[in-house]
Amino acid sequence: MRLVLVGPPGAGKGTQAQFIASNLSIPKISTGDIFRANVSGGTELGKLAKTYMDRGDLVPDEVTIAMVRDRLSEDDAQDGFLLDGFPRTVPQAEILRDMLKDWGQKLDLVLELVVDDEEVVRRLAGRRTCSQCGRIWHVEFDDKRDDVCDACGGTLFQRDDDKEETVRHRLEVYQQQTAPLIRFYADEDILVGVDATGPVEEVTQRAMKEIRPYAG
């Protein structure tokens, strides 16, 4: 099965991608993993991407797409894959469609993890990171009433990208970039939404219930 997972920051894409890919016995392929593999492996694409990353610039689409193409051509992805983090835009989605068509393949499903903005803010703005061991706690979910890490005694702090104003800005950017992508896949008639609120296991069960009819 060939599947794309989309959803806003804080929707739990990384966690759900892992569980869903495991349930379907297909590789989970994220752009982050692809970038790290190319950079650490010293590939030509990795070296090129690193020149942009070192300057703090976005890696151009053509480099990202070339990395994705290489990864999808590997043996373990021939019978299916789950893409997390790609495509992010309609032009990328069109290139992916054409790439797969050239290989005699197509996407079976695009699964959208649906979470409302206030739930995302609640999830992300409540996170606190230990300055000593790096563990992440949540002021609500972990019943934290102090700023001390229960694991090592280090001081907890709120990362800048977890602050409410930053989270809301990230959500605005996501909506601007991804709303057209959602419409694109809806028009392709391969988009299915799943409620991503509640315990992780329940979300996975809902997702698998939606996926199975498409899994053949």
Annotated active-site positions, please?
13, 88, 127, 159, 170
Distance of CA 8 to the CA centre of its chain: 8
Given the DSSP bridges, would you call strands 191-195 and 136-138 parallel, antiparallel or unpaired?
unpaired
Given a contact cutoff of 8 angstroms between Cβ atoms, the answer to whether 109 and 211 are in contact is yes
User: What Rg value do the Cα atoms of the chain yield, rounded?
Assistant: 18
Q: SS3 for 85?
A: coil
State the Cα angle at 190 between 216 and 120, rounded to 5°. 110
Given the DSSP bridges, would you call strands 2-6 and 109-114 parallel, antiparallel or unpaired?
parallel
Which amino acid is present at 28? K
Query: What is the DSSP track for 139-159?
Result: TTTT---SSB-TTT-PBEE--
d(CA 57, CA 49): 10
